[in-house]
Amino acid sequence: MGMKPIPKGYAPAIRSKIGLEKEQIKYLARNTPLTYMQVVSRINEMLKYILKELKFYVDMWIKRFVPKRTGQLQHLLIKSMDQSSVKWGMLKLILGTRINYADQVNQMTASMVRHFGQLGYGNYGIFAYKGKRPLNDPEAAGHFFDALLSFIQERAHTIISQAINQFFGGSGTLNKYVKSKVY
């Protein structure tokens, strides 16, 4: 899974592709009793399953480890994954935020972003409440976006392997080919 992080100084984001190219799908279709469209449909089903599972785990990770002073950073990261899609045998994964301070938060260590009931300032939520608010964020991860990328890569490999076995079960040539081309 080739993730391309955005350069330092920009809001953290990734855009990544997982899947098979058109020529690879044609090759698969030639070597099986399935038609090209059946292979595409099967791969799309598998990739939609992978995306659904990734969204589930990434959502949980973000809610647990991304610093939550206002919750805006978490909300926008989770919402950005809605832009991810599956088309013609390719999953396009999008995750990021346009919040201007996200890069600075990503540069902070765990001790700088973890809070245990201290009071903090800021604009909070859609009602733009200003003032002091208790902060309780004991599990926030330092360098959160870097840690999130590592988590996604680990989790994606597990989910992809499970999905390939589920959708292209067995140990046949098709399973081996899909496995070697999707990673």
Q: Is residue 175 part of a domain?
A: no
How far apart, in whole angstroms, are the C-alpha atoms of residue 183 and residue 174? 14
Q: Is residue 38 part of a domain?
A: yes
Residue labelled with tokens 């949980």: 60
Q: pTM of the full predicted structure?
A: 0.79
Average pLDDT rounded to a whole number, residues 33-39: 88
- Position 183 pLDDT exceeds 90: no
How far apart, in whole angstroms, are the C-alpha atoms of residue 99 and residue 130? 18
- Most confident of the following: 153-157, 163-167, 173-177: 153-157
User: In terms of residue numbers, what domain contains 114?
Assistant: 4-165
Average pLDDT rounded to a whole number, residues 43-72: 91
CA 103 to chain CA mean position, Å: 18
Can you tell me whether residue 94 is helix, strand or coil? strand
Residue 125 pLDDT: 54
Q: Is residue 178 part of a domain?
A: no
Average pLDDT rounded to a whole number, residues 73-78: 89
Dihedral class, residue 19 (left if φ above 0, else alpha if ψ from -120 to 50, else beta): left
Domain count across the chain: 1
Token code pair at residue 156: 């994606």
Q: Is residue 170 part of a domain?
A: no
Residue 174 pLDDT: 59
Q: Is residue 174 part of a domain?
A: no
Average pLDDT rounded to a whole number, residues 30-38: 85
Residue 92 pLDDT: 92
**With bands split at pLDDT 50, 70 and 90, how would you rate the model's confidence at 78?**
very high
Rg of the chain on CA atoms, in Å: 20
Average pLDDT rounded to a whole number, residues 113-126: 63
